Structure 1
Amino acid sequence: MNDKDKFLHPRSRYYGQVTPENLLFNANLQEFAQRVTFISCLETGGKLSPEQAYQEIRALWKQLKRSKKQLKIGEISISGSGES
């Protein structure tokens, strides 16, 4: 990745519980945050209407929720917990 890409698309290190699902969701979450920032800047600069910005962010939010559900993030696993 060159310097311009690192500047425009920074990635933060993940400090949570390391699982493939958590890492993938973290990447999705970082992309969501980045894209919301870009959309906000475009709206502030008059390149997008407030309604367009809202619709774009709403669509991104739905994608993030779908990702969370598909990756089963936040679901409590009963199997293997030792409880009956």
Structure 2
Amino acid sequence: MNESHRIIKNNFLYPRHRYYGKITPENLVFNANLQEFSQRVSYISCLETNGKLSPDEAYQEIKKVWKQLKKSKRELGITANINDDDNIY
């Protein structure tokens, strides 16, 4: 596989979108983490929908990646402008 095909494949499998918020190193890192979270939840959902994961396994995996995202937010010192409720849903 040549380099251009590899780039196309990676862009398809791991899409990244431009960040439009306030540009700080912390916000950029969190945005990358958030996009990775979204991608992983999408994969987990697809695996569950196709019967490769049980609903409980999918829930546990999503819960695990959610905790990783919360930890990232906390470590980066990202705060919300509105009430920051980590216990939504």
Q: TM-score, normalised by structure 1?
A: 0.87
Distance (Å, rounded) in 2 between the aligned partners of 1:4 and 1:67: 27
Structure 1 unaligned segments of length 5 or more: list them.
Answer: 77-84
Structure 1 residues 25-79: Cα deviation after superposition (integer angstroms, max 9, x where no partner)? 0000000000000000000000000000000000000000000000010168xxx
**What secondary structure sits across from 2:51 in the alignment?**
coil
Which of the residues 9, 12, 19 maps onto 1:14?
19
- Flag the structure with larger Rg: 1
Corresponding residue for residue 53 of structure 1 = 58
The structure with higher relative contact order (CA 8 Å, sep 6+) is: 1
Structure 2 unaligned segments of length 5 or more: list them.
Answer: 1-5, 82-89
Q: For this pair of structures, how many residues does the alignment match?
A: 76
Q: TM-score, normalised by structure 2?
A: 0.82
Distance (Å, rounded) in 2 between the aligned partners of 1:75 and 1:27: 17
RMSD of aligned Cα (Å): 1.3
Q: Structure 1 runs of 4+ off > 6 angstroms?
A: none
User: Following superposition of structure 1 onto structure 2, how do residues 1-80 of structure 1 map, counting pairs within 5 Å?
Assistant: 2-74=7-79
1:51/1:18 CA distance change after superposition, 3 Å:
same
